[in-house]
Amino acid sequence: MRSRRRFTVPLPAGRSLVLGERTLVMGIINVTPDSFSNGGVLFDPIKAVDGGVRMVEEGADILDVGGESTRPGAQPLSAAEERARVLPVVEALVRRVAVPISVDTYKASVADAVLDAGAAIINDVSGLRYEPALGDVVARRGAGLVLMHTRGRSKDMYQAASYHDVVDEVRDELRESIAFATGAGVAREAIVIDPGLGFAKEPAHSYEAVARLHEFAELARPILAGPSRKSFLSKAVGRSLAAAQRDWGTAAAVTASVLAGAHVVRVHAVAEMSQVVRVADEIRKYYRDE
């Protein structure tokens, strides 16, 4: 067991996010009609906001709102449609909850709009590779930035899932994303990294990334892990499971991620995974550094 470094991530309006004292839980709010995990249950803005409030009551430390599905094979969405989906939800949530609001987008114009509405973090699945101008927006607004690893777009990401050493290569590509961000003026202290479990990765790649998550600490940035309900979890049980049936597998992957050094875990089932995280954190207290 390796010790987990502590970080303070600056956010707009003089706020900050302390990472490393305990693992934070990021609750997922998919404002999409085709969410892989819930079939669009939270597509209605009122249900999405009520769901977010409930997640905070259940233990969420951050809420992550997304308007475009990034599941494999998903079609891209226009910036105008994405703004129409997420803005009402962000505007309502910032009035009703005290936790920071993150928005899952790679589009610069969407980021600008949601930061105007009170969001504090931009969660970019492309690691600034789809719209580099996003870095300029985040820098100008002083927002937090999650840089996730992927290759290609949703429709063809698995064609790029070829690695000699998945952790070494993902780490090198995340290092490039960090350089893109700081080159655009984003403070290094504002950056969180995400190895992108399930994105442009075969199941074995995702399992190896979880097992070796501590190696991403070399980048000296806090680590976010997002295994929740992803299809690679079915591989271990030897049969296909619907997304909603993958919470037991998610619990195992979340536990392993926490013990390997994740600072934040991104999950759908907040009530259940908050318990998993708190127990895993308690176990961490009794490990000794190797």
| CATH number of the domain residue 231 falls in | 3.20.20.20
pLDDT for 185: 98
pLDDT for 72: 66
pLDDT for 113: 98
Residue pair 106/153 in contact by the 8 Å Cβ criterion: no
Residue 9 within a domain: no
pLDDT for 48: 93
DSSP type of residue 71? S
Residues 6+ apart with CB under 8 A from 253: 197, 210, 225, 227, 233
- From first to last of the 290 residues of the chain, give the pLDDT tens digit: 567 999 999 999 999 999 999 999 999 999 987 554 454 455 688 999 999 999 999 999 999 999 998 766 677 899 999 999 999 999 999 999 999 999 999 999 999 999 999 999 999 999 999 999 999 999 999 999 999 999 988 777 788 889 999 999 999 999 999 999 999 999 999 999 999 999 999 999 999 999 999 999 999 999 999 999 999 999 898 888 999 899 999 999 999 999 999 999 999 999 999 999 999 999 999 987 65
Residue 129 within a domain: yes
Domain count, the chain: 1
Residue 279 within a domain: yes
**Owning domain of residue 269:** 17-284
Residue 2 within a domain: no
pLDDT for 39: 47
Residue ranges of the alpha helices (H) in 163-230?
A: 166-183, 203-211
Active site residues: 230, 266
Residue 3 within a domain: no
Residue 212 within a domain: yes
Residues 6+ apart with CB under 8 A from 181: 128, 135, 138, 139, 145, 147, 188, 191
122 bridge partner residues: 103, 145
Residue 4 within a domain: no
Residue 272 within a domain: yes
Reported pTM: 0.94
